[in-house]
Structures are given as structure tokens and as C-alpha cells.
Amino acid sequence: MNKINFSNQSFPAQVVSEGIAIGKILIIGNKTSLEKNHGTSDPSIFLESVQETKSQLKDLALKKSQIEGDILEFQISLLNDSELIEPVLKSIKAKEKCSVAWQKKLDSMIEEFEEETDSYFKARAEDLKDLKKRVLRNLTKNDENFSKPFQNLNAKEKSIFLADEMTPSEFIETDWNQIIGIVLKNCSPNSHVAILARSYGIPMLTDFKISLNRMKNVKNAILDGKKGCLIIEPSPKLLKEYQKNVQNNFEEIQLNLSKLAKPSFNSKGDRILVKINADSMDLLTKIDPEHCDGIGLTRTEFLIKDGHIPSEEEQFQVYSNLVKWSCGKPITIRTFDVGGDKPVEGITNNEENSFLGFRGIRVSLKFKDLFRSQIRALLRATALGPIQVMLPMVTIPEEVEETREIITEEYLNLCEKGIKAGIPKLGIMVEVPLAALSIEKFDVDFYSIGSNDLIQYLSATARDNRSVSYLYHAKYSAFWDLMSKINAHGHRTGREVSICGDIASDTNYLEKLLDNGFRSISVSPNSLVNVKTYLASKILKEEPNKEVFKLN
Ligand code: PEP
Ligand code: MG
């Protein structure tokens, strides 16, 4: 093969995640198919490998936050689909080797998805490739021919890696410490890897036409995720220009961060509370409490690992750490919202209509010992800082009253034992239409709208069912009428109404929320910069009321 002089050459590619990266080149070869027929035709071994894959994905999901968790849960749901598993079993029973049967089935599905014109479905081919590899790895017991290419990358310097493709779980398992850019030959901009790269803020290109073999001797590169190109062996002059560019970007980010520290307002000068949703303890190191108005939702289910419900003491430690982190800002902690799409073995049985079944406060009021120990941990943490307790899936006022009695009893018990405790504010998630429509019957300190569930229950559209996802939408006026009703009740009674569902993190809906009179939102940590920057820019565009800035 002719040696190419790459010096200072620029190769076009499609931008998937914006940004500029300057670093060493790391080429990663990855195999997606087995070259030889492996092992057994025993269907039970195949099923064990599928099971093992599910457990690995579950373990990985538990260690990560919401976005990664959702992607991995989606893959687990694919593995639960009999339309995927049954045909493979059938071929195995007809004496095909497990690995061959699995590979054939997945290859044909991947091909079908790749031929789809709808970019959403096209992008799902990548999840199937991920599953194909993982199950094969488990079947072949990690055959070294089929190793994990992205594990132990061990980059010593800032590096950009080039690979043919990468799967979502490979992305999630990669150590991003020194990896600052990604170039993949094949990847859809709607794929989960693309979504992850954007959410991690890693510049990424795809549709790169040069064969990786020809790039073997390349050392340095610039990934330009603005223009959409990879510049190989840049000249010192070009390198200097780009370094300056990176410095300017850095300054822009600093400017955004300085906006973050300021309180947010709407264009009339009303204060808008921007809190964050806590889905893991990562938040304590990733987010400065000065950048938000506290925590609007803590999904305590993240504390349940492998069916183990944390003890009162373990929970107290976590809640106290949140209090320490928050520097006096309110922390809303939701009691366990298990059931629905978050089953816990031994507690929520595999119900057919799990979203309509044993979920949230319904579970807590049935498993009273567990509930009481969570309440005790919360009351003890309330003695240390401003904890607000929030109940999920509340449907009727009696659920709140029963909880209030438990809180009072546990408070008195703790006081009797000389253990420091406080009575927290008590609020509810408004996510069941029955509760939303009779909001005035709920005598609580605050309300938080769970739009994710409210939309699903209002439209009779399961939030995880892709075949009816066109109906799962916040655009319908009946939804906004209901939102306004809840907010009006909050205004009348002087109680805070917040929104902690995903629409609060979506800048497409922020304006509508503000126009509808909402003044408090709780957003995912990854959206905080976007949301606060958006709010600041709205004020600037709409001729600011100068008083607003004096308040800073
Ligand atoms: C919601 O339903 O909008 C919500 C925030 O809760 P979760 O997504 O955890 O059900
Ligand atoms: Mg909910």
C-alpha cells in the first residue's frame, strides 16, 4: 500500500457532537463477528448467556445515571422480547450452534434496521450490535478473539480515538479520562452512542471515509467538530490557530458558568427557581450547589441495588451527604418509587400492567417496615438541613394522611429515644390524573408535577412503548389545561408548584412553562447549563428589566 503524506490534510466527516479536540490518535480495531464456530448447541447455555448479559447490563445501569440507565434498560427490554429469543432457540433445537444461531438472527435484524428510512429505527441497529457482541462474549466465555476493544485503553496523553464502530455499552464502560474526541466510521447521529457523546460533551465525528489501516502511522490530529473535519498531522501554524480557538471556547464556557451562579428570572423579572433532579450521588462532585436552587427531586430508587433495600443507617448517610452538599438549599427527597418500570424482586411481583399496578406510595403503604425505616432516615436528616419529603404516585388524599400519621409516630418515637429529628415539609408528585383533577383535596406543603407519568396516564400511552410513542407527547392542550389548573391552585394557596418531569429540562417547552405561569422547575444535571443559559438569554433578548440584574 502506498504511504500517504497526511501532513496538514483535512478529511471531511459528519459532526455528531460539537466541539474541538486536539490530541494523539488512537486506532481501535474491533471485531463484530466470530470467525469460527464456537462451542455448543445446548439451548440452556444460550439462555444462561442471555441471562448473564441482562445481569451485566443491569449492573452497569446501576452504577450510572439516568441517561445511561435508560439506554441499558432499553437493551434489556430487547433481550426480554420473545420475538428475538424464540427463533434462535428454534434454530439451536434444530442443531445449530448457539453462537451461529444468535449471530445469524442478529445479523438479519441489524440488516433490516439499517435499511430503515426512519432514522430512529436505523439508529437502533447499534443497540442490536451491542447485544450481539455481549451475548457472543458470554457464550464464548470471553474468547480472546473477541475481546473488548475499548476496555483498558489506558491513554497516557489526551487522545482522539478512531474506530469502525462503537456500541452504547462499550461507550458507557470506557474510561473517558484522557479521551477527548471520537471518530467513528459508522454511526447514526440519532444513535445512543451519539446521544451519549453529546451528553458527555465529547466532540464526535462520523461518516469518515478513510480506511483505518491507512491511518496506522498517524500520530497527531485535530478533530474539528464545528466545520466537520479531521485534520491529520497539523502544521505548527494551524495547531496554534486551533489552540487559540479552544481557549476562546473555554472562555465562552466560563461565561456560561458565571451565568449559572446567578439566579434565574423570567422577562418580567419574576424569580424562577431552577433545581436539579438527583438520580445518583455523582451530583455531589459534578454540580456546585451555587449553580442551582437546590434539589427538586431525588429518585431514591437508585439506592436499591440488586434488590437490596438500604437500611435506615445507610439511607441516613446518603441523605446527610445531600444536606452537607446543598449549603442550606432545599432538598426534595422522593420516597421509593418502585414498581412500574422499576421493579424490585420480592416486592413488586411481575405484574402484567405494572404502570397501573403496585407502584410508588402504594408499595410503601403496604411494606410499612421498609417505609417506616425510610421515613426515620428522612426525619433524622431533617434535623441537619431543609429536607422536603415527596410522595410518588399519589392518587387519593388518604395516602397522604396515612403517611402523615406515620411521620408523626416515627418522629415521636425518635424523640423518645433521644435521637435528633425534624418534621420535614411534605409534598406530592402530581402524576396521576385523578390527583391532578382534584388537586384542591390534597393538603400538602408543595406539589411537583411528574410530567413523564402524567402524560403517560393522561394519554393511556405507556412511556416505554415505542410503537405508540407518537401519542406520548406534551403538545396536547388537555395536558396544558391540567397543568394550569394545578399551578392556579398552587398560586391561590401559596404553595410551590414545581415540574420535575423531562419537559422541564427541554428548552423547547421552557417558554410555554413560563407563559403558563410556572416559576419553579427541576431539571436533569446535564441540562442545567442549557436551561440557565436559555433563561438568561431570554431576558437579554426581551429588553431586560434592569432591576432584575440588580438582584444578582
Ligand atoms: C415523572 O413522572 O415525571 C417523574 C419525574 O418521575 P419518574 O420519571 O421517576 O417516574
Ligand atoms: Mg413519575
Q: What are the domain boundaries of the chain?
A: 9-30+149-246, 43-139, 269-542
3-state helix, strand, coil in the chain (%, to 5): 50, 15, 35
Provide the pLDDT confidence category of residue 66 given band limits of 50, 70 and 90.
low
Identity of the amino acid at 448 = S
| DSSP H helix total and E strand total for the chain | 20, 17
Choose between 148 and 311: higher pLDDT.
311
pLDDT in the model for residue 279: 85
Q: Which residue, judged by its Cα, is nearest atom 8 of ligand 1?
A: 452
Identity of the amino acid at 19 = G
Backbone angles phi, psi at 83, to 5 degrees: -65, -20
Residues whose CB falls within 8 Å of the CB of residue 356, separated by 6 or more in sequence, listed in order: none
pLDDT in the model for residue 548: 30
For domain 9-30+149-246, which CATH number applies: 3.30.1360.120, 3.40.30.10, 3.50.30.10, 3.40.50.720?
3.50.30.10
- Distance (Å, rounded) from C-alpha 158 to C-alpha 178? 5
Neighbours of ion ligand 2 (CB under 5 A): 431, 450, 453
The continuous run of DSSP H or E covering 10 comes out as strand 9-12
Choose between 171 and 480: higher pLDDT.
480
Lowest mean pLDDT among 211-220, 306-315, 384-393, 455-464: 211-220
Choose between 341 and 159: higher pLDDT.
159
The 3-state DSSP class for residue 422 equals coil
- Owner of C-alpha cell 435508560: 70
* Residue in 350, 415, 337, 411 with CA at minimum distance from that of residue 376: 411
* Residue in 332, 320, 292 with CA at minimum distance from that of residue 446: 332
- Distance (Å, rounded) from C-alpha 513 to C-alpha 504? 8
Max CA pair span of the chain:
84
Lowest mean pLDDT among 22-31, 136-145, 325-334: 136-145
Residues with CB under 6 A from ligand 1: 297, 299, 337, 431, 450-453, 500-501
Provide the pLDDT confidence category of residue 283 given band limits of 50, 70 and 90.
confident
Identify which of 463, 483, 500, 527 to mutate to test ligand 1's pocket (most ligand atoms within 8 A of the CB).
Answer: 500
Q: Do domains 9-30+149-246 and 269-542 have the same CATH topology?
A: no
Does the structure show a pLDDT above 50 at 552? no
pLDDT in the model for residue 222: 95
pLDDT in the model for residue 544: 37
Q: Which residue, judged by its Cα, is nearest atom 4 of ligand 1?
A: 450
pLDDT in the model for residue 1: 44
- What percent of the chain stands above pLDDT 90? 52
Provide the pLDDT confidence category of residue 172 given band limits of 50, 70 and 90.
confident
pLDDT in the model for residue 464: 75
Output the CA–CA distances (angstroms, integers) from residue 173 to 131, 282, 297, in the order listed.
Answer: 14, 16, 27
Choose between 193 and 538: higher pLDDT.
193
Least distant ligand from the CA of 277:
1
Mean pLDDT of the chain: 86
Q: In ligand 1, which atom is closest to the CA atom of 301?
A: 9
Given a contact cutoff of 8 angstroms between Cβ atoms, the answer to whether 165 and 150 are in contact is no
Across 66-84, average pLDDT: 85
201, three cell numbers: 460533551
Lowest mean pLDDT among 25-29, 327-331, 377-381: 25-29
Q: How many CA atoms lie within 13 A of 201 on its CB side?
A: 8
Provide the pLDDT confidence category of residue 275 given band limits of 50, 70 and 90.
very high
Choose between 104 and 156: higher pLDDT.
104
Most confident of 175-184, 232-241, 418-427, 531-540: 418-427
Residues whose CB falls within 8 Å of the CB of residue 346, separated by 6 or more in sequence, listed in order: 307
- Distance (Å, rounded) from C-alpha 335 to C-alpha 540? 39
Per-residue pLDDT reduced to its tens digit, 197-228: 887 778 999 988 888 888 888 889 999 998 99
- Distance (Å, rounded) from C-alpha 401 to C-alpha 394? 11
Across 184-194, average pLDDT: 83
63, three cell numbers: 452504577
pLDDT in the model for residue 65: 62
Does the structure show a pLDDT above 60 at 540? no
Output the CA–CA distances (angstroms, integers) from residue 103 to 43, 111, 170, 203, in the order listed.
Answer: 14, 12, 19, 32
Strand pairing category for 159-163 and 20-28: parallel
Cα 390 to averaged position of ligand 2 atoms, centre (Å): 11
* Residue in 458, 454, 455, 426 with CA at minimum distance from that of residue 442: 426
The 3-state DSSP class for residue 515 equals helix
Q: In ligand 1, which atom is closest to the CA atom of 341?
A: 10
- Distance (Å, rounded) from C-alpha 515 to C-alpha 176? 40
The domain defined by 43-139 carries CATH number 1.10.274.10 = yes
CA dihedral 120, 121, 127, 131 (to 10 degrees): 170
The 3-state DSSP class for residue 31 equals coil
Instruction: State which fold the 269-542 domain adopts.
Output: TIM Barrel (3.20.20)
Given a contact cutoff of 8 angstroms between Cβ atoms, the answer to whether 526 and 281 are in contact is no
Q: Which residue, judged by its Cα, is nearest atom 1 of ligand 1?
A: 450
Please spell the DSSP secondary structure of 149-215, one letter per residue: TTTT---SS-EEEEES---HHHHHHS--SSEEEEEESS--TTSHHHHHHHHHT--EEE---S-GGGG
Choose between 135 and 464: higher pLDDT.
135
Q: Which residue, judged by its Cα, is nearest atom 5 of ligand 1?
A: 501
Given a contact cutoff of 8 angstroms between Cβ atoms, the answer to whether 382 and 424 are in contact is yes
Output the CA–CA distances (angstroms, integers) from residue 478 to 403, 455, 475, 497, in the order listed.
Answer: 31, 10, 9, 18
Backbone angles phi, psi at 482, to 5 degrees: -70, -40
Across 67-94, average pLDDT: 89
pLDDT in the model for residue 320: 96
Q: How many CA atoms lie within 13 A of 84 on its CB side?
A: 20
pLDDT in the model for residue 316: 97
Identity of the amino acid at 356 = L
Q: In ligand 1, which atom is closest to the CA atom of 277?
A: 5
